[in-house]
Amino acid sequence: MGNSNNNIEDLLDLLRPHYGTGLTISPVAGGDCHKSYRLDCEDGRHFFMKTNTPRYLEVLASEHFSLCKVAALLGGVDALYPEVEGYIEEAGVCCLVLEWRELGTFNESNGAAIANSLFNQHAISADRYGWEESNFLGLTKQNNNWNISWADFFLTERLMPQAKQAKANGMPVYLLEQVKRTCENAHTLLQSHQPTPSLLHGDLWTGNVSWDIARDEPCLYDPAPYFGDPEVDIAMSRLFGQLPASFYKHYYTRYGELPNNNAAPDEPSSELKGVRLERELAPVQRRAQVYNLLHALNHFNLFGGGYLSMVESHLFQ
């Protein structure tokens, strides 16, 4: 495709057979690698669309599957994620079309409602850790082979592939050695932690959490779901900023309702900066540090050396 005007005309030619001849589209903000648009149909309907070239076909196809699967698991009780309207692969372009949501920001007054919705998702469980197919953490493909051991799953399907990719991407040798030691310690740490596999968002940083103004309810998006430890989502929610204090207070109040969790863990500190000695941290804090090492490594692999300090801050000595 040529310039932006030609791009829009090409998209209109692709979309009009599906959404009517009176369709108009306009670019909107959102997405790191995809182009995003608002679709306005002649009959008054509005949609949000992500589109890209076939190079990213697998990424959009995975998001399409994940959103449909999570919606089915939620059973329509909680419209926590945008509903999938359609998925189109034609003429060298792939498009994921979702319902349009009028989104605002989260705050102290709605933090408890966000916690309640996420908790209800986490209460959906499986008998193993994993997911039905591979998916993407950002643009990083991650396998989700089923496993009955949480320690084995998190090491083999999460940390080790990221560490291997970091080596290929030129991470300094001294740091790779520390990553290796932390992975070994992480496996030992997690062997004594076998939570009921809960349905996770999988990429729950604050940028993927909003408040639906029209519906007056939470809205999450861009999931990388699988069945795992719910602490993974809670830990990442603190990695780039954090959700309101009311979110954490309400979530931990309900935590004991999850299967195999008799009481809420000690709430992890929001400050996990600097290399920490493993013995100095409570178990939930040590797990949070390990879980967020995954995302630190992923950001190094996607965006480069600017994230080395983040990797170092999540290592054990």
Question: To the nearest 10°, the Cα dihedral for 68, 149, 296, 252?
Answer: 70
Domain ranges in the chain are 4-99, 103-312
Cα separation, 270 vs 253, in Å, equals: 18
Q: How far is CA 178 from CA 53, 279, 317, in A?
A: 38, 16, 8
CATH number of 103-312: 3.90.1200.10
Strands, DSSP E only, in the chain? Answer: 24-27, 35-40, 46-52, 84-90, 93-99, 103-104, 135-137, 140-142, 198-200, 209-212, 217-220, 226-228
Strands across the sheet with 103-104, in order? 103-104, 209-212, 217-220
pLDDT tens by residue, the chain, 317 residues: 334 444 888 889 999 999 999 999 999 987 668 999 999 999 999 999 999 888 899 999 999 999 999 999 998 666 799 999 999 988 778 899 999 999 999 999 999 999 999 999 999 999 999 999 999 999 999 999 999 999 999 999 999 999 999 999 999 999 999 999 999 999 999 999 999 999 999 999 999 999 999 999 999 999 999 999 999 999 999 999 999 999 999 999 887 776 665 445 555 444 433 334 444 458 889 999 999 999 999 999 999 999 999 999 999 85
For the four alpha carbons of 248, 253, 257 and 262, in that order, the dihedral sign comes to: positive
User: Which of 121, 202, 122, 193 has the alpha carbon at shortest distance from 157?
Assistant: 202
| 311 neighbors 182 (Cβ within 8 angstroms) | no
130 DSSP 8-state letter: B
Cα separation, 74 vs 77, in Å, equals: 6
User: Which of 17, 14, 19 has the alpha carbon at shortest distance from 1?
Assistant: 14
pLDDT for the residue numbered 280: 45
- Among 32, 40, 43, 203, the active-site one is 203
User: Which of 311, 304, 313, 299 has the alpha carbon at shortest distance from 140?
Assistant: 299
222 is catalytic: no
If you search the block for the tokens 């009921």, which residue do you land on? Answer: 196
pLDDT for the residue numbered 91: 74
DSSP assignments along 190-212, one per residue: HHT-----EEE-S---GGGEEEE
The CATH class that applies to domain 4-99 reads alpha beta
pLDDT for the residue numbered 6: 46
User: Which of 188, 210, 233 has the alpha carbon at shortest distance from 80?
Assistant: 210
pTM over 0.75: yes
